Structure 1
Amino acid sequence: MTLSSEFVPRPQRRWVYSPAASFTVTRTAETSVIIAVGDLDLTVTGDLAALLGQEVGLRPRALVLDASAVSFCAARGVTVLLDAVADAEVAGVPFAVVGRQQALLRPITVLGLEQVLPLHHSAADAVAWLALLPQLTDLNAC
């Protein structure tokens, strides 16, 4: 007995595309804050890299990426964050990342990047830390 393909049940596809992440930029006289929401996967990491590069190019007094609503971070997302840290340092722009959830914390701690890419609990904590950076740099110069 042979079965014809017309009698084989086919799975119903109910997949609906939705953007993996969205980004919002808020600028004040003191700080530019980029808020990322959703999944930082390969479909959006290029957009994030471009946005971070654009903000660094504007040379704000401080730049904060608030990733506290990020639910997934691909390896490329971590690379984008590391590139942003380097670009911001070269441009003289203090940069910090907010987000202590597993999506960010796990890859950063597994790779031992806590010193290069410290994660803060809130935007207020990040801004306070950035305000201390010049004082810490002065102490290290002595």
Structure 2
Amino acid sequence: MLIPAPSSCPIFEVTTTPEASVVTATGDLDLAVTGRLGELLSREVRLAPPALVFDASAVTFCSARVLTILLDTASAGVPFAVAGRGRALLRPIAALGLELVLPVQWSVDEALAWLKLVPQLR
């Protein structure tokens, strides 16, 4: 499902499979879109998929507020992972010292594989 946005806003797309829901973001994730992103991820959490992945591989800017939304999603009770190790995402994570609490995988496939391993590590 493609979530429509004005031309200057990022695009969010949700893909659902039997193993996970993947929310893909494209463009700048600044303060102007945090409400929409938060609502989208909250809705996906309420749907209780087996796993939820946020794909940020096409994100060109990521505000600190977006990281707060991702942290909130990670603690919402649905297995959650972030994919896309681009500078736009990793730079604010490193600047805020969040590497250990918000690990980022290279791709959606790696994020799904990591989510399968997490229960075994506990």
Q: TM-score, normalised by structure 1?
A: 0.79
2:99 to 114, 127, 132: 114
Shift of 1:136: 0.7
Which 5+ residue runs of structure 1 have no aligned equivalent? 1-16, 138-142
1:15-61 superposed Cα distances (whole Å, 9 cap, x missing partner) = xx733211000001111000000000111111110010010111111
Moved over 6 A (4+): none
Q: Which has the larger radius of gyration?
A: 1
Matches within 5 A, 1:1-142: 18-87=7-76, 91=77, 93-137=78-122
1:78-133 superposed Cα distances (whole Å, 9 cap, x missing partner) = 1111111122xxx2x11000111111101101211111100110000000000001
> How large is the Cα RMSD of the aligned pairs?
1.1
Is this contact kept in 2: 1:20–1:41, CA < 8 A?
Answer: no
Which 5+ residue runs of structure 2 have no aligned equivalent? 1-5
Structure having the higher strand fraction is 2
Moved more, 49-58 or 17-26: 17-26
Percent sequence identity is 59
